[in-house]
Amino acid sequence: MLGSLRDLLPIILVIGFFQAFVLQQPIPGFMDIIIGTLFIVLGLTFFIYGLEMGLFPIGESMANAFARKGSVVWLLIFAFCLGFGTTVAEPALIAVAKEASEIAAVGGMILHTPESMRSYADGLRFTVAFSVGLAIVIGVLRILKGWSIQYMIMGGYILVVIMTALAPKEIIGIAYDSGGVTTSTITVPLVTALGVGLASSIKGRNPMTDGFGLIAFASLTPMIFVMAYGMII
């Protein structure tokens, strides 16, 4: 808990400084904010403890088991399902998709009905989840084959720049934000553990240089797929 409080302290100091010396206004609902901050400290503490006890070990152990089993097909299926499942349940993505559907309805890009907005939000969520699943598959193949991550990432961002020039301007911001919200509380721990565990299990692979990088693919591919989604829809 002390570690969590230390991590949150810079945010608390910044907000307190600007509230007291720049805005020079009393903080509304001060006691509620104090209680909420305590809940954040507790939540962050339990979350990190849960990662260390549960998600990291299970991710690494499953990667080791798949490597020993020697079945590339099942490993890739597992990688896709892991990326898809963790992303479609990502709270940040759900929030962004819901907000995007409401703005699209207000802007007249889709019908302003609950069914149309729900369909748009679900389509956006599943597009992002599919892209992340595919990204994890590509990342796992990179670890297995020893491909260079630099050229793959550079090629991906060149494609992003090209698609940015072609995609409707209304979808570009959503596509860029989709790349960020996928790398959040649920996706990052499991995907990182998978990459490190897999690289540790394969002879000749370095967990430091080969085990990381899956998150970069998970951030890149949603931008491409969401812009394609916008061009189609």
Question: Which tens digit of pLDDT belongs to each residue from 124-165?
Answer: 899 999 999 999 999 999 988 888 889 999 999 999 999 999
Percentage of the chain beyond pLDDT 70 is: 98
Task: Report the half-sphere exposure of 51 (CA within 13 A, side-chain side).
Answer: 14
In which residue are the tokens 């959503």 written?
174
> CB within 8 A of 203, min separation 6: which ones?
none
Picking from 108, 127, 129, the residue whose alpha carbon sits closest to that of residue 119 is 127
| Contact between 174 and 233 (Cβ < 8 Å) | no
For 48-71, give one letter per residue: b (16+ CB within 10 A) or e.
eeebeeebbeebbebbeebbeeee
| Per-residue model confidence (pLDDT) at position 154 | 94
- Mean residue pLDDT across the chain: 85
| Per-residue model confidence (pLDDT) at position 147 | 87
Q: For residue 161, give Cα distances in angstroms to 80, 132, 164.
A: 26, 19, 5
| Per-residue model confidence (pLDDT) at position 111 | 85
- Specify the pTM: 0.78
Q: DSSP letter string over 166-190?
A: HS-HHHHHHHHHHHHHTSSTTHHHH
Give the pLDDT confidence of 157-199 residue by residue, as tens digits.
999 999 999 998 888 998 998 888 877 677 787 788 888 888 8
| 120 alpha carbon, distance to own chain's centre | 20
> CB within 8 A of 145, min separation 6: which ones?
none
| Per-residue model confidence (pLDDT) at position 213 | 84
Picking from 23, 92, 62, 70, the residue whose alpha carbon sits closest to that of residue 195 is 62
| Contact between 124 and 92 (Cβ < 8 Å) | no
- Cα separation, 121 vs 104, whole angstroms: 10
Percentage of the chain beyond pLDDT 90 is: 20
Q: Is 5 exposed, middle or buried (0-12, 13-18, 19+ CB in 10 A)?
A: middle
- Give the mean model confidence (pLDDT) for residues 33-47: 87
| Per-residue model confidence (pLDDT) at position 156 | 92
- Cα separation, 156 vs 150, whole angstroms: 10
- How would residue 21 be classed by pLDDT, with cut points 50, 70 and 90? confident
Picking from 101, 114, 217, the residue whose alpha carbon sits closest to that of residue 170 is 101
SS3 label, residue 28: coil
pLDDT at 59 over 80: no
- How would residue 63 be classed by pLDDT, with cut points 50, 70 and 90? confident
- The listed range with the strongest mean pLDDT (26-35, 106-115, 154-163) is 154-163
> CB within 8 A of 231, min separation 6: which ones?
166, 167, 168, 171
